[in-house]
Amino acid sequence: MALPHLHHLAPSDTDRPGTAASGLSGTELRVEPGSFRDPANQVFHAGEQVLRGLDETAAGHWRALRGSDFFPALMAAGKVCGTEEMPTASAPQGWAAVLRHERIPFVSHPYEWSVTMLRDAALLHLEILRAALSAGFTTKDGSAYNLQWRGTQPVFIDVGSFAPLVEGEPWAGYRQFCQTLLYPLLLTAHLGVDFQPWLRAQVDGIAPDEMGRLFRGVRRLLPGVLTHVHLHGSVQRRNAARTTRDVRVQLRDAGYSRELALATVRGLEKLVRRLDYPPPTSHWVDYQRTCGYSEADRAAKEGFVTAALAGATRRRLVLDLGANDGRYSRIAAAHADYVVAVEQDPAVVDRLYRTLRDEGERRVLPLVMDLADPSPGGGWRGVERASFAARTGADTVLALALVHHLAIGRNVPLPQVVECLTALAAPGGRLVVEFVHPQDPMARRLLANKPDGLFPDYRREAFEALLAGHGTVTDRLELPSGTRTLYQVALGG
């Protein structure tokens, strides 16, 4: 099964597999809320270690996998998360073996990725499956949730999904792959529709019948649609009354083989590579030119942010909220182990991701998210996929040119805006925030579309009082334009 909620702290040397692992004696074990769909293995936490318990069958599969040629090579290349087996005596009761995994710096969900991120994740999934099939293995799952990120590098995390290949059996993860990776890509590449709301709405992804209704008529002839949407849906309906065993026997009798499975994977890779969708034009894509900052304002702002991030203690995790083109995320990356750059516009995030990927940046993770409607908890009981708020706890939160968009543009009361921003930081963390005065051209533009007198409390004095209620303002700077003020706040523990 997928591993959806790895511990989000940045890894240290002692967290990486290959270093001395402490025993689990006396350590409280916490079961991962999203790890329950595969009874053969389960993810849990012991302190800050991410562990996976295996039953007898899964332990045998793991040892065969560890001894293969393809898996260690993928792990060494960083394409599969670092994993090691702990001493047998460490296995919790009921499990035959226990693995310790590399910790992912920050867990994200596929509906927070840009389209190119989803495409790159899909290609890695297929590359790993192709390597596994060639070596006599397969994967039991095909979910987008099997992947996470080290900055702009996708990494496969579901080590428990690997199993020896049974000749003649189809790929069990094909449906999941279509519903959580291929269909969202088809939706955006062929129709120009943002896939994120569709994946957020259904943890299992987009069903073939649902896709089929969107691709009728001549749209049926678009690349990948006839085979992977309509034919896939037809086969599912035709075999709805048959058992999985019956379908497997039928495929084996029809001559289905490993070679045909590999050909299918290569065809999927070819299709996914064709689904390149360059970021469309967006107002926010050209923000640095249109935002209205003077050169003096920009220089002063960058100096303030740099000074706030610099210091004797390196930041572990920085959130850059409303990151836009990543200008300040890059500054933060020079002073932090990891930066999560959150921006609402999918086109802006996709452009940022492509740029960071081409630069080889591994310390900045760009995510698509509307901060007035952030990712909630989802899936079974609302905890199978953790909410954005549950995954944060940053040393520093950057909220630059953001407050007025939430308070005026989205009608969120100013006290709630400040409360939200401070809650995303870890106890004792810091907030670097910008307040755009009501007389600023951008604030006036937003206010022009609102009834008069709707925001009587949107004032600098009120904002400063709210900050004082959450911590101590340690530094402030009014930009040369005179209509924007920056604050650094040491938050109360």
Residues 207-220 have a mean pLDDT of 95
Is the pLDDT confidence value at 1 over 80?
no
State whether 295 and 432 are in the same domain.
Answer: yes
Is the pLDDT confidence value at 250 over 90?
no
pLDDT range class, residue 246, cuts 50, 70, 90: low
Identify the CATH number of the domain in which residue 24 sits: 3.30.200
> 1-5, 64-68, 143-147: which range is least confident on average?
1-5
State whether 257 and 117 are in the same domain.
Answer: yes
Residues 70-74 have a mean pLDDT of 97
State whether 379 and 294 are in the same domain.
Answer: yes
State whether 321 and 466 are in the same domain.
Answer: yes
Q: How many angstroms from the chain centroid is the CA of residue 370? A: 14
Instruction: Answer with the one of 46, 70, 101 that is the final residue of a domain.
Output: 101
Tens-place pLDDT, residues 402-459: 999 999 999 999 999 999 999 999 999 999 999 999 999 999 999 988 888 888 899 9
Residues 460-486 have a mean pLDDT of 96
Better-predicted residue by pLDDT, 185 or 283: 185
Tens-place pLDDT, residues 345-389: 999 999 999 999 999 999 999 999 999 999 999 999 898 999 999
pLDDT range class, residue 99, cuts 50, 70, 90: very high
Helix axes 115-134, 183-191, angle to 10 degrees: 140
Instruction: Answer with the one of 82, 101, 120 that is the final residue of a domain.
Output: 101
Angstrom distance (rounded) from CA 14 to CA 24: 15
pLDDT value for 243: 61
Name the strand (E) or helix (H) holding 248: helix 244-253
* Amino acid residing at 451: P
Task: Name residues whose C-beta falls within 8 Å of residue 336's C-beta, 6 or more positions apart in sequence.
Answer: 309, 314, 315, 316, 317, 318, 363, 395, 396
State whether 128 and 255 are in the same domain.
Answer: yes
pLDDT value for 18: 38
Tens-place pLDDT, residues 175-199: 999 999 999 999 999 999 999 999 9
The answer to whether residue 388 is domain-embedded is: yes
Better-predicted residue by pLDDT, 52 or 249: 52
Identify the CATH number of the domain in which residue 359 sits: 3.40.50.150
Tokens representing residue 178 in the block: 């279509």
Give the β-pairing of 336-343 and 364-368. parallel
pLDDT value for 242: 63
Are residues 182 and 198 in contact, defined by beta-carbon separation less than 8 angstroms? no
Angstrom distance (rounded) from CA 70 to CA 81: 14
Length in residues, the chain: 493
> 103-112, 123-132, 277-286, 483-492: which range is least confident on average?
277-286
pLDDT value for 17: 41
State whether 336 and 407 are in the same domain.
Answer: yes
State whether 67 and 184 are in the same domain.
Answer: no
Task: Name residues whose C-beta falls within 8 Å of residue 472's C-beta, 6 or more positions apart in sequence.
Answer: 489, 490, 492
State whether 70 and 136 are in the same domain.
Answer: no
Q: How many angstroms from the chain centroid is the CA of residue 194? A: 16
pLDDT value for 31: 82
pLDDT range class, residue 109, cuts 50, 70, 90: very high
277: left (phi over 0), alpha (psi -120 to 50) or beta: beta
In 298-402, which ranges are E strands? 315-321, 336-343, 364-368, 394-399
26: left (phi over 0), alpha (psi -120 to 50) or beta: left
The answer to whether residue 196 is domain-embedded is: yes
Residues 43-56 have a mean pLDDT of 90
Alpha-carbon dihedral sign for residues 246, 251, 257, 259: negative
pLDDT value for 272: 98
State whether 422 and 304 are in the same domain.
Answer: yes
pLDDT value for 15: 39
The answer to whether residue 306 is domain-embedded is: yes
How many CB atoms within 10 Å of residue 250? Answer: 12
The answer to whether residue 465 is domain-embedded is: yes
* Amino acid residing at 221: L
Going by the DSSP 8-state scheme, the letter that residue 450 receives in this structure is S
Beta bridge partners of residue 396, listed in sequence order: 318, 430
Q: How many angstroms from the chain centroid is the CA of residue 252? A: 38
The answer to whether residue 433 is domain-embedded is: yes
Angstrom distance (rounded) from CA 285 to CA 351: 8
Angstrom distance (rounded) from CA 195 to CA 184: 5
Going by the DSSP 8-state scheme, the letter that residue 379 receives in this structure is S
The answer to whether residue 6 is domain-embedded is: no
At residue 471, φ and ψ (nearest 5 deg) are 175, -160
Q: What total of structural domains would you count in the chain?
A: 3
Of 483, 65, 19, 124, the residue nearest 293 (C-alpha): 483
State whether 252 and 334 are in the same domain.
Answer: no
Angstrom distance (rounded) from CA 394 to CA 320: 10
State whether 93 and 142 are in the same domain.
Answer: no
The answer to whether residue 83 is domain-embedded is: yes
Task: Name residues whose C-beta falls within 8 Å of residue 255's C-beta, 6 or more positions apart in sequence.
Answer: none
pLDDT value for 22: 44
The domain containing residue 486 runs over which residues?
Answer: 283-491
Task: Say which residue the tokens 């987008």 belong to.
Answer: 144
Are residues 429 and 492 in contact, defined by beta-carbon separation less than 8 angstroms? no
> 6-10, 93-97, 146-150, 296-300: which range is least confident on average?
6-10
Tell me the pLDDT of the chain averaged across its residues.
89
Cα torsion for 122, 125, 126, 128, to the nearest 10°?
160
Instruction: Answer with the one of 274, 298, 317 that is the final residue of a domain.
Output: 274
The answer to whether residue 2 is domain-embedded is: no
Helix axes 258-274, 115-134, angle to 10 degrees: 160
State whether 54 and 172 are in the same domain.
Answer: no
pLDDT range class, residue 240, cuts 50, 70, 90: low
